[in-house]
Amino acid sequence: MRKLFIPILFFIAFLAAIYLVVPQFSKLENLQIEVANKQDELEQTANYFVNLGNALSELSSYQEYLSNIEASLPAELSLASLLGFFQDELSKNGLILKSITQNTSIAKQRAAQKAISKDKSELASRIKEAFIVVNIKGSVSSFESFLRNIEKSSRMIEVEQVSLKDSKEKISEITLLIKVFHY
């Protein structure tokens, strides 16, 4: 019986070892796999931030161009900045600004027409239009020069309508309907 007792004891010890060690070993393998996954994730995150840093440094080299784009297509419509822009351009060309007002009825009509058509790109759908009525006084030649300067400016401005009220003097009253773009 004693000879049988030692092999049975070894067999029970072996079963206990397998019962206790194998689950721990599989937990260790699972933890090693999880650590490897987390390291891969951490490496991908680090690469992502390195790529963001590279993109930021590349964008900073284009800062002048980005500021021109921002000036040409502002985030919000600012009548004060438009007033300053038109006042500067008009005075450069010898014209006098009589009044400047925003025309919201035309903008609403155009927005309704665009909503009906629905065949515009995502970028075009985010760009908004505003209509400004500008009344000025000056000569026709100065007005032509003013129009050329507006066309050359970085701002996205379209002259929709021009009406001239000619007087007996060389000075005319000019009314412009101008479309400006913003986000």
pLDDT of residue 127: 77
Residue 157 sits in the same domain as residue 130: yes
Q: Tokens representing 56?
A: 């930021």
The reply to whether the predicted model has a pTM over 0.85 is no
DSSP code for 78: -
Cα separation values, 23 from 9, 19, 20, 161, Å: 22, 7, 6, 83
pLDDT of residue 122: 55
In a domain, 16, yes or no: yes
pLDDT of residue 8: 85
Residue 82 sits in the same domain as residue 128: yes
Task: Show the domain range for 162.
Answer: 73-182
Block mean pLDDT (10 aa), the chain, length 183: 79 85 87 96 96 90 78 74 87 90 71 57 68 89 90 84 79 88 77
